[in-house]
Structure 1
């Protein structure tokens, strides 16, 4: 795996002169944030050696190098999920490549179902912590030399970036909530009983991604900020049937606000 990571990183270095230290993972319905980026190079995943290919609607499947404001950035326009049939090494392969390329800060985004009764559809949730419900751990197996065998996870979501997001949201009058993200394997949406369980164990929102990426990023020393768009509600009395298409629509509606927040965070932090 290490040889593949190095081969992929070298291929990317050979195809672009940009060396961004900031990366963004754009999740379901959030790929349009790429329109905010001045694209210098754009590589379909299928063209990149050893890269998996995104199969989910709403995930374009391109690696973008460009500028957001006056900062160089690398952006994943679509991610890989455990439910697509990939193992955790494949799901988190791009994060390993980012580290090899010199990325120091990672912004991750996703769409999720809110289980906190105080949440509303369209809320931006700053992720303060997570609960890992994936059946396979991304660090299982031989330890990579990027971090310790037993990494501490007490601050997987960087406190300084979280405070910066709070400050910017206050300045711009952006409504936001904060909470714990529960990561599950999917691909089914949750049952009412599962929603209740996730809330009772301390979750505020539930989704099918992000947690493996954050674990591996943290293991490599990359600092992380995570944001989740609440696209549906798993709150008793408010649960309705939901489709992937509806999740995309809800996420797209909030995209300009999230783009504004992330643009300002990257400007000030990287």
Structure 2
């Protein structure tokens, strides 16, 4: 399933990380960063909690990425539960830290996915308004979200595509999708996106499967469909972590290879702050590490 050289030359990759919540998790994060940066990603992103609950750790994590690694670093930014002035203050804090790229999201309510959403009366109502606000605040690179299998709160995919168009029209540079496993469904979604006049890149979000049981719980909350073939691929490997990891790397690499054959050239990998499985996926595809990139990593 390795890609040929021409295909590899056309492909761009990016990685997502999240702020650590403990000293042990922090060590795990920076170990992963020091290893994954050798793959020379186009950029990395750091998540931001509902209602700004992880502003401080996100800012600290992003600041360390910028000061201690060579990686172009984007910060997620949400507007839920905040006034415009509060959101602008957050943007200014991140700008001072050197952030030039935001992943602009409405964000989940503090009560979690599925809880009723009520816009803050003095804030941005949704991600499209947040994109417009960011465009007024500075010359930022702006990524947004997209949902091939629709956001859990949307009535249908058409409503999601309408929101994506508003985000694109307001100045978004690219869309990063929720993870998915059905490439045919993604291709149909992309056809609808283009038919709606949306021309920005739509970058597939790829989730290497570390634990299928846990993934199913997570997928249920965010609306991702788990195809039956995944149960078949992972059957019998619950107590065989090494073999399970090999299957997981094969599954993710095969998904990327198939999407590349369909003309997709950029991929956003959800790392879960761990490096071995992501590295195995890229190795399977024929990519080579660039160890020179790691000088000073996570110093």
Same fold flag (TM > 0.5): no
Instruction: Compare the two structures and name the one with the higher helix fraction.
Output: 2
With the length of structure 1 as denominator, give the TM-score of the two structures: 0.33
With the length of structure 2 as denominator, give the TM-score of the two structures: 0.31
